[in-house]
Amino acid sequence: MVEYGLDLTDQVAIVTGGGTGIGAATAKLLAQHGAHTVIASRKLENLERVAGEIEAATGRRCLPIQCDVRDEDSVNAMVERAFTELGRIDILVNNSGGGYMFPLLQTAADKWDNNVALNLRGPFLCTKAVGQHMIDNGGGRIVNISSGAGVSGVRGGAAYSASKAGLQMFTRVTAAEWGKYGIRCNAVAVGLVANEGSRRSWARAGMDEAAIVAQIPRRRVGEPEDIAWPVLFLVSTASDYVSRETLFVNGGPSLGGLPDED
């Protein structure tokens, strides 16, 4: 009988893109629920700062590892160090990602390739690298941080939209192939989440945050913690019978039809 709950005591979680935003908020929340964490990204300074904050606040181990998820050798080295130092890998959160906003005719091939490498190749490499460890351990949980753009698309983001759509299908196939090993795999399709980086991107793209908020039923953009809590649910036994799903976390749907009532 499964003991349902959010307790992650002494489990080990890898969170890519863990030095800022959603990744940092997720690593902190998993640690608050008992997990030891590995946070990985290209900028070691951010990782070391977040790791110090997590260890001071929770008493859980947090291991910062510099890693480029687009590079197979870098990913394999990160995973092997995580396993060597912490002894197991129970959870993987593929959070590293990003995108460029260019009209299709102005999208250079190298920009396309880098977007696909970051948003799709990276999660593939990380998932493949942890797979055997999870199988040997009797199971595991994987969460891929995707985007609503992977479902509905976004103008000016062909590469981003296509790579996130691919990530959601990769989630389904992983869940189907590895379910027999006790491994669950789900995705979170994120809406607009506010942080310094995203606000800079909105400004570069000429997007007005007030106009954006007016189209969101919850009347606010998301915060990193809004994503961290659903991730906690998906990596815990509270979601033990949930696998291959894409959970939308976006403040509600934006629909056509009659205008909003005041």
pLDDT tens, N- to C-terminus, the chain (262 residues): 889 999 999 999 999 999 999 999 999 999 999 999 999 999 999 999 999 999 999 999 999 999 999 999 999 999 999 999 999 999 999 999 998 888 999 999 999 999 999 999 999 999 999 999 999 999 999 999 999 999 999 999 999 999 999 999 999 999 999 999 999 999 999 998 987 667 776 677 677 788 888 889 899 999 999 999 999 999 999 999 999 999 999 999 887 787 777 6
Taking the C-alpha atoms of residue 148 and residue 65, their distance in angstroms, rounded to an integer, is: 29
160 catalytic? Reply is: yes
**Of 4, 100, 160, 241, catalytic:** 160
Beta-sheet strand order (sheet of 62-66): 62-66, 36-41, 12-16, 91-94, 140-147, 183-190, 246-249
pTM assigned to the model: 0.95
**Structure token pair of residue 151:** 């479902």
Quick one: CA dihedral 174, 180, 183, 188, positive or negative? positive
Nearest one of 224, 227, 219, 221 to 207, comparing CA atoms: 221
**Structure token pair of residue 203:** 């400004």
Fold classified for 12-249: Rossmann fold (3.40.50)
